[in-house]
């Protein structure tokens, strides 16, 4: 039986007690997550959004929580035995700067990734080569982060394990997510986009594109997708009826004010010496 089918079977029909052989299936699965050989979501040119979710992988992650018991880890931490801290060596080429960061086991951390303290990367995440996860940033479960991204200080990339068919947040290659941003609920940020400081992206709030004169929004069947090279900032739109109009109320909304150009490149250029 293939690993996928075994995971599906264990998820659907859990035994009263897991055998050593069944636990070894999970450990093999977790090792594949660590190596990036399997992912909770992956590029798919046939999908309208360019991405598809691998529900069986998310089931395998949930299976690990079922199997594990609470144990004491280093210090005063108590967590599932199946998800200790991710073991990283100098040979991995990952910089974890001292100061209180944590990376949970069962996620891929690419070569040249820089982790500034304190930050947290949760299980099932995929962080591609050369990306920087800055101080106080959170990468949620199963989030997919591309190459050479900068997830700036205090930003949150939302996670999702259930429902298993839900697409996680995807941030493609060469994206800058500014400080204090939040990207949630399966939003896809296409390559080379710039998310300005303080911007919140989710399924509930439409994004107004002033350049292309259109509105980007999630639907029942599709996530919110931020176009390639879009520069998104936090904005507002006036309430045009009822008491909201009388009171001069405006609602928050993200706004695409431009697409990347030479000026943008100069402003967001990262210092190679820091990597």
Contact between 39 and 108 (Cβ < 8 Å)? yes
- DSSP 8-state code for residue 245: H
Does domain 3-69+86-265 correspond to CATH entry 1.10.3720.10? Answer: no
Helices 3-12 & 20-35, crossing angle to 10 degrees?
120
Residue 50, phi-psi category: left (phi > 0), alpha (psi -120 to 50), beta (remainder): left
Q: What is the pTM of this model?
A: 0.94
What SS3 state is found at 81? coil
**Structure tokens belonging to residue 260:** 């990347």
CA distance 43 to 39: 10
Q: How confident is the prediction along the chain (275 residues), in pLDDT tens digits per residue?
A: 799 999 999 999 999 999 999 999 999 999 999 999 999 999 999 999 999 999 999 999 999 999 999 999 877 789 999 999 999 999 999 999 999 999 999 999 999 999 999 999 999 999 999 999 999 999 999 999 999 999 999 999 999 999 999 999 999 999 999 999 999 999 999 999 999 999 999 999 999 999 999 999 999 999 999 999 999 999 999 999 999 999 999 999 999 999 998 777 776 665 455 55
CA distance 58 to 56: 5
Q: What share of the chain is helix, strand, coil (3-state, %, to 5)?
A: 20, 25, 50
């Amino acid at each position: 039986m293939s690993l996928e089918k075994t995971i599906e079977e264990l998820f659907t029909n859990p035994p009263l007690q897991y055998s050593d052989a069944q636990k070894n299936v999970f450990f093999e699965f977790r090792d594949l997550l660590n190596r990036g050989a399997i992912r909770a979501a992956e590029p798919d040119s046939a999908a309208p959004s360019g991405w598809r979710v691998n529900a069986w992988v998310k089931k395998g992650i949930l299976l690990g929580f079922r199997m594990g018991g609470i144990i004491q880890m280093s210090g005063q931490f108590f967590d599932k035995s199946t998800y200790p801290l991710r073991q990283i060596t100098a040979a991995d080429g990952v910089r974890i700067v001292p100061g209180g960061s944590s990376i949970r086991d069962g996620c891929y951390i690419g070569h040249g990734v820089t982790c500034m303290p304190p930050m947290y990367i949760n299980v099932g995440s995929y962080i591609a080569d050369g990306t920087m996860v800055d101080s106080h940033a959170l990468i949620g479960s199963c989030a997919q982060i591309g190459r050479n991204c900068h997830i700036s200080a205090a930003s949150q990339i939302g996670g999702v394990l259930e429902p298993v068919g839900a697409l996680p947040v995807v941030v493609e290659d060469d994206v800058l997510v500014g400080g204090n941003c939040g990207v949630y609920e399966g939003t896809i940020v296409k390559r080379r986009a710039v998310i300005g400081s303080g911007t919140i992206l989710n399924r509930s709030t439409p994004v107004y594109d002033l350049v292309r004169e259109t509105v980007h929004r999630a639907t029942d069947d599709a996530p919110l997708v931020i176009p390639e090279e879009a520069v998104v900032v936090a904005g507002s739109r006036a309430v045009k009826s009822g008491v909201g109009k009388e009171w001069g109320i405006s609602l928050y909304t993200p706004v695409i004010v431009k697409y990347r150009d030479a000026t943008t490149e100069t402003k967001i250029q990262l210092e190679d010496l820091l990597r």
